[in-house]
């Protein structure tokens, strides 16, 4: 019986295959990895379960429940004691009175919130920064039909309004977003850069947007103005009917990777457990003690 030695591939064949592999890798779009953002300036988990207030998880600004607003166990995330804010749309909301006017002067803003509407085809607000009325002066909501620049053909969209240096600006998303399932909404604005909306972690292509905040044009530089209230579940047109959860606000602009992390993870993961804080503190104290200079006694 004869044996044949394994056939060796010529080096030029291996080099060619390696080159093809590198070209394929270079042509493949890079997938962004979720990155945990820094803690929000203010945030609420709505895990209170009962009572007339919503405890702040970040920023120390507790909210007061108005008009019969309550809590519910339904939530986009599952962990012990989790819940959401429950609203019936008849003039009930959570108000953070100590934050009235707090956004004025800011040159960047990010708002993240989980929303679950009781119906579609709605004109109801999940966030308001001014007295509730029919004007989209400062806040975010579901919009049954577009309005800006004759945009009436766009239906069931998400709309945001901001005042920048006293100028009213508006953002109208693509249509078809309204749902009765849990939905993650993140609105980002930065002076001189413009506005962006992410829905369930995906960047929106707006149907209409004011030129002053149009990220594809020449957005203006300036600071937010005319914010007079801080309402979760109320604003332009009408109060929210359904559930809201994990509301958070940053006075900075989140990027796509940070939005992706928020869509996949609960804000509760960013709240340090007391036991963890204690262990870290004790560990640091221990390291400081071990590393301190020791006196040497003369013999």
The gap from C-alpha 234 to its chain's centroid, in whole angstroms, comes to 18
**88-109 average pLDDT score:** 98
Q: What percent of the chain has pLDDT over 70?
A: 80
**56-62 average pLDDT score:** 98
Identify which of 214, 211, 218 has the alpha carbon closest to the alpha carbon of residue 196. Answer: 214
Q: Where are the domains of the chain?
A: 94-271
The residue that leads in pLDDT, 13 or 132, is 132
DSSP string covering 12-35: HHHHHHHHHHHHHHHHSPPPPPP-
> Which of 23-37, 169-183, 209-223, 274-288 has the lowest average pLDDT?
274-288
Tell me the β-bridge partners of 171: 160, 209
Tell me the β-bridge partners of 245: 114
pTM equals 0.82
Give me the CATH topology for the region 94-271.
Jelly Rolls (2.60.120)
- Give residue 33's pLDDT: 85
CA distances from 237 to 24, 70, 99, 134, 195 (A): 51, 21, 22, 5, 22
């Amino acid at each position: 019986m004869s044996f044949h030695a394994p056939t060796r591939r010529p080096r030029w064949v291996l080099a060619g295959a390696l080159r093809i592999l590198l070209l394929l890798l270079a042509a493949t779009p890079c997938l962004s990895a979720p990155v945990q953002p820094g803690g929000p300036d203010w945030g609420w988990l709505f895990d209170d379960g009962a009572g007339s207030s919503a405890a702040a998880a970040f920023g120390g600004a507790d909210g007061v429940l108005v008009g019969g607003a309550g809590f519910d166990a339904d939530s986009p995330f599952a962990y012990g004691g989790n819940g959401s804010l429950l609203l019936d749309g008849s003039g009930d909301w959570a108000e953070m009175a100590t934050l009235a006017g707090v956004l004025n002067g800011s040159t960047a803003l990010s708002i993240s919130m989980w929303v679950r509407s009781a119906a579609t085809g709605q004109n109801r607000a999940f966030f308001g920064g001014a007295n509730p009325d029919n004007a989209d002066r400062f806040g975010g909501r579901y919009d049954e039909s577009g309005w800006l620049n004759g945009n009436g053909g766009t239906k069931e969209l998400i709309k945001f309004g901001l005042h920048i240096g006293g100028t009213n600006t508006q953002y109208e998303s693509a249509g078809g977003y309204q749902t009765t399932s849990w939905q993650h909404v993140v609105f980002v604005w930065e002076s001189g850069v413009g506005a962006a909306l992410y829905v369930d972690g995906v960047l929106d292509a707006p149907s209409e947007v004011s030129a002053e905040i149009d990220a594809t044009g020449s957005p203006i530089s300036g600071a937010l103005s005319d914010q007079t209230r801080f309402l979760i579940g109320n604003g332009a047109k009408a109060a929210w009917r359904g559930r809201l959860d994990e509301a958070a606000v940053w006075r900075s602009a989140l990027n796509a990777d940070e939005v992706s992390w928020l869509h996949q993870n609960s804000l509760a993961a960013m709240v340090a457990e007391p036991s963890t804080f204690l262990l870290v503190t004790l560990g640091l104290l221990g390291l400081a003690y071990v590393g301190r200079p020791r006196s040497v006694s003369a013999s």
